[in-house]
Amino acid sequence: MPSVPALLLCSALLLAPAHAASAALPHRSVTAARSAPLPLELLHDATAVADDARPGSADLDGAGNALSAGDLAAAGWTPGATVTVQGARLTWRRGAPGTPDHVRAAGQEVRVTGRGDALAFLAASTGGTAAGGTGAVTYADGGRSAYALTAPDWRLGSPVTRALALPHVQTPGGRIDGQARLYVVTVPVEPGREIAAVTLPDAPDLHVFALSVRDTSAGWTGSWAASTSGQPAVGPWTDRTLRLVVHVSAGGPRVRLRFDNTFASAPVRLGGASVAVRSAGAAAAGTPVPLSFDGGPGTDIAAGAQALSDPLDFPVAAGADLLVSFHLPGTVAAVPLHGLAVQQSYLSGPGDHTADTEGTAYGTTLTTWPLLTGVDVEGGPGSVALLGDSITDGNKSTVGANRRWPDVLAARLRRQSEVPSYGVLNHGISGNRVLTDRYPGDGVSTVTNGVSALNRLDRDVFGQTSVRTVVVFEGINDLTTGATAEAVTAGLREITERARARGVRVLGATLPPCGGLAACTPAVEAARTAVNVWIRDAGLFDAVVDVDRALRDPAAPGRLLPAYDSGDHLHPGDAGYAALADAVDLSLL
């Protein structure tokens, strides 16, 4: 198992909160700068993309190696295209292959404007290791704050955190097999404060291809979400329509949907999409309403990118079941998905059936959620993200009954008026761990247990809509597979500190009893007890959700209460999930 320091190297460097960092920098007025900052594209001083017919036309790493223009086009990253990754819109270089297309970070002052919660850098390093340094943000009011940025190496960096992976490297002698990777790294800024410019670090091995301010999605609440957990083979599906069943938490007068092509190496085409209230099975309660994407009926989602539908006037009731249908006109042989839906969804025969009210065309059932990762509603008080493993994912709860503990928590919020009825975003992944990646991050795999909580934190918490609080409920899978209590608590500490730097409240959940499970040895029980003592007593979290005390048998504290045990001695049944949700003090959210 990799050490925690090794894992930290693959993550963006921890930042102090922007308001604290600003004190370390001298005040400088924007108008007092020696020259006005320029857009990044006017600062391009290096060439990374080679024309495949002219292998020596670019040199990314100083040894004549470069990215393949053909590979980029095949991935959907065409000149001038805007790709959205982790909620940030980034414009890919506009020029022809073999012309300057990015900057080597050397302290350049870049004109970047907007308000949001983070800066997003499309970047990579060269030199064989991660590279980065400290830069500065200049606000429109003249204030400044520091940020720290690091990006993994374009050949040797982790595949699990990359935004885009290409199958070849262009060399002076021609194209060769070998992974080339680009990364999107986000760093926090003061939310809502107008940004005027960004000074890059002085780090010549750090290459910056695009930079933007990530919008905070003000006025929207996340109502449903699912984490991409892997990319298995499917079908293949050709000219098929998927109709996915999702159970929303918060309601609102308008809706928008998010689709993620995470981990993919090729774009996927959505020929059309619709949303409807569910009647029963695959049947809609009324005529499905078509969605649009940038004004059109469909969209191409580039490899590693996401697509957000245009806002739609479609009232969504809190706690409703929706049918989200989308047509795949091409052939899809592998697809990013959420592996454990605990819900039946549907696949049609040939044709576009997004407008069908009846479900007769949908003859095949699915137990996963392919491509769809989010449902947002207009208005509302914001959302709570639940970062967890199979217990948060709802394993062993009744299929189709929405009795996962996040669903029960959302229902509790809807039934009361003491606190706002926040959206609840379920980012549990069955088999997930804090420290270790299960899905390898590149290529087609039968493994759908996701990348580690540390490596998916940016995508599954910080990049989600309107998250105000995260409940961190992971670690038991690490312990049962050999991790030490010290390694797990170090990972939980990093998650908490990174969330705090983003202004997100953090609730820590104690680990549940697992006595009776073969993997829950006396050594594991001792480590679990140590982790729980740390969670309760370290004072690191804003509050603690004591899952252990809520679910354990008082007569045998190392085991689940029999009434709560699904039968495998680790996962609760429906009654146990209800007890877990009841253990959350709503006022802490």
Structure tokens that stand for 60 in this block:
């990314």
Answer yes or no: do 461 and 563 share one domain: yes
pLDDT at 94: 87
Q: Is residue 221 part of a domain?
A: no
Residue 454 inside a domain? The answer is yes
Averaged confidence pLDDT in the chain: 93
Please write the tens of the pLDDT for every residue from 516-527.
999 999 999 999
Tell me how far apart the alpha carbons of residues 428 and 228 are, in angstroms, rounded to a whole number.
10
User: For the range 499-503, what are the long-range contacts, defined as Cβ-Cβ under 8 Å and sequence gap of 24 or more?
Assistant: 499/457, 499/461, 499/462, 499/470, 500/17, 501/14, 501/15, 501/16, 501/17, 501/188, 502/117, 502/118, 502/188, 502/462, 503/17, 503/117, 503/188, 503/191
pLDDT in tens, 395-414: 999 999 999 999 999 999 99
Q: pLDDT band at 34, cuts 50/70/90?
A: low
Domain assignment present for 223: no
Report if residue 222 sits inside a domain. no
What are the tokens at 155? 């050949």
Q: How large a percentage of the chain has pLDDT more than 90?
A: 92
- What's the rounded mean pLDDT across residues 216-228? 95
Query: What confidence category does residue 35 fall into, taking pLDDT thresholds of 50, 70 and 90?
Result: confident
Same domain, 199 and 263: no
Q: Are residues 83 and 133 in the same domain?
A: yes
Interval 427-481: pLDDT, tens = 999 999 999 999 999 889 999 999 999 999 999 999 999 999 999 999 999 999 9
State percent of the chain over pLDDT 70.
Answer: 94
Predicted confidence at residue 15, as pLDDT, reads 33
pLDDT digits (tens, 9 = 90+) for 119-150: 999 999 999 999 999 999 999 999 999 999 99
* CB 258 within 8 Å of CB 367: no
Q: What is the mean pLDDT of residues 271-288?
A: 98
Q: How far apart are CA 410 and CA 338, in angstroms?
A: 20
Q: Are residues 253 and 167 in the same domain?
A: no
Mean pLDDT calculated for residue range 16-23: 33
Q: How much is the pLDDT for 12?
A: 37
Residue 18 predicted with pLDDT over 80: no
Residue 509, token pair as written in the block: 């959940």
pLDDT for 19 beyond 80: no
Instruction: Verify that 52 and 176 share a domain, yes or no.
Output: yes
- The answer to whether residues 546 and 420 belong to one domain is yes
Whether pLDDT at 3 is above 60: no
Do 385 and 368 lie in one domain? The reply is no
Class of residue 586 by CB neighbours under 10 A (exposed 0-12, middle 13-18, buried 19+): middle
Alpha helix ranges (H) inside 475-521: 476-480, 485-501
Give the domain-ending residue among 180, 214, 248.
Answer: 214
Question: What is the spatial order of strands in the sheet that 109-114 belongs to?
Answer: 109-114, 195-199, 131-139, 144-151
Q: 499 and 577 share a domain?
A: yes
pLDDT for 20 equals: 33
The CATH number that applies at residue 589 is 3.40.50.1110
Residue 276 identity: A
The model carries a pTM of 0.92
Local confidence band at 95 (pLDDT 50, 70, 90 cut-offs): confident
Domain count for the chain, please give it.
3
Pairing of strands 423-428, 383-388: parallel
pLDDT in tens, 470-510: 999 999 999 999 999 999 999 999 999 999 999 999 999 99
Q: Do 33 and 155 fall into the same domain? A: yes
Among the candidates 331, 348, 373, a domain finishes at 373
In a domain, 405, yes or no: yes
Q: What is the pLDDT of residue 509?
A: 98
Task: List beta partners, residue 104.
Answer: 207
Q: Please tell me whether residues 337 and 392 are part of one structural domain.
A: no
Q: Domain check: are 356 and 492 in the same one? A: no
Residue tagged 């809609």 (tokens): 284
In a domain, 219, yes or no: no
What is the average pLDDT across 225-254? 98
Residue 22: pLDDT over 70: no
Residue 30 has pLDDT above 60, yes or no: no
**pLDDT (average), residues 284-291:** 98
pLDDT, one tens digit per residue, over 332-389 is 999 999 999 999 999 999 999 999 999 999 999 999 999 999 999 999 999 999 999 9
Question: Domain boundary at 373, 404, 437, which?
Answer: 373
Task: Write down the pLDDT at residue 92.
Answer: 92
Is there a single domain that holds both residue 397 and residue 545?
Answer: yes
Identify the domain containing residue 101 by its residue range.
4-214
Residue type, 222: G
The helix (run of H) or strand (run of E) holding residue 411 is helix 405-415
Q: What is the mean pLDDT of residues 221-227?
A: 98
Decide if 224 is inside a domain.
no
Query: pLDDT band for position 216 (50/70/90)?
Result: confident
